[in-house]
Amino acid sequence: MKTTVNTTVKTPVRTTTRTLLAAGLVLGVVAGPAIPPALASAPAAASASARSANGALEDAIADLPTAEATAALVRVGGSEGVWRGSSGVHDLTTNRPADPAARFRAGSVTKVFTAAVALQLAAEGRLDLDRSARSYLPDLIPASYGGVTVRQLLNHTHGIPAPDFPGDTVEEWYANRFRIHDPKDMVRSATSKKREFKPGERQHYLNIGYTIAGLLIERVTGDSYEHQVARRILEPLGLRDTYFPGADPHITGPHNHGYQVMRLDDGTTGLRDVSVWGTTDGWAAGDLISTTADLERFTKALFQGRVVRGPLLEEMFTLPKVADFRTGAPAAYSVGLSMKKLGGREVWGKTGGRWGYNAAIASTRDGSRTLVYSVNSTDAKGQDTNKVALNIMVATFGQP
């Protein structure tokens, strides 16, 4: 019988952290100690290794808020044991405890949903992975990109560059946070440029392939992308807290606030509340809003073959045999997922980042160990992996 024990541990804010947070706030000053993590332990009969992992998970999210993150929500599952944990604050004005059931921006985790719908349509014979994207969208994809296949869109080997967006800094992007981006306009911007490489010869992880994939889904179904995902995935799995915001820049329902380090109005550098920020630039590549409970249910169903059924599921676990466009390293992205070796085994999943929010789903292929997290990172789209998020991943699966 599985039991869950909730504990509360009071831990003071480190002096350096308090100074940074107080100096950077736009909406108020931190007025008290950090809210302690609300930690849930694994079953009492867990093995010594599981207990050790649980301790590492507790350490990974302890003492929030810090300079790296203001909150973290974690769910670990699978046959190796179950662990639930949350830490940090709902917001830096009230210092209320983080809501473990909060909704958050899942960012590029959206791509897994998009890929799953595309593969379902392929199984139905409505999309051909080896057929050109232009053959479905001749009015949008120019002849110069006529050789790009649907599979290449989904595994990032298409060679189409990113579209242009206004601004070059986080401050400029923040100023444009309510701008509405049309998917077709983004595709036109991207395909007006010279290709980065011949389709199928390199891999470059970009959103644009999934923007086109969303439009492909709409073209072959005669329906909206959002409704197809809802009908095929959200509703059958009962993901009631997962939705697409469209042009609404708010997160509806309970959510922990997200913050970003940037230059403030008075010229200083500090934290700004970025919870309200439009995501139409991401669309089918990155605008999903969800919860850890919903994403855990989705992850388990996906890896059990209950979302994409039959041989096409293997597309999600097949890495193209090409090199990364920038680093020259072996390709790390499949259709919808990516793979890293952690703790001596393959871990498949997807991370995502929107301003104020980092998220991830991950699992061993056999589902013996699954992970979902949301980390309210203070630099969610930075070049380096958030320290808290990295520690959660390592605590769950082991070192690279």
pLDDT at 50: 61
User: Rounded to 5 degrees, what angle do the CA atoms 240, 241, 245 make?
Assistant: 115
Closest CA to 45 of 57, 56, 33, 54: 54
Q: Which residues of the chain have pLDDT under 50?
A: 1-45
Q: What is the pLDDT of residue 130?
A: 98
Alpha-carbon gap, residue 149 to 194, rounded angstroms: 17
The pLDDT value recorded for residue 33 is 29
Q: What is the pLDDT of residue 258?
A: 98
Q: What is the pLDDT of residue 168?
A: 94
Question: If you ran DSSP here, which 8-state letter would residue 103 be given?
Answer: B
Domains and CATH numbers, the chain: 6-100 (no CATH), 105-336 (3.40.710.10)
Buried b (16+ CB within 10 A) or exposed e, 225-236: bbebbbebbbee
Q: What are phi and psi of 133, to 5 degrees?
A: -65, -35
Helices of type H across 222-338 = 225-229, 235-237, 292-303
3-state secondary structure 106-143: EECCHHHHHHHHHHHHHHCCCCCCCCEHHHHCCCCCCH
Q: Dihedrals φ, ψ of 344, to 5°? A: 80, 10
pLDDT score, position 6: 29
Residue 117's nearest CA partner among 216, 13, 264 is 216
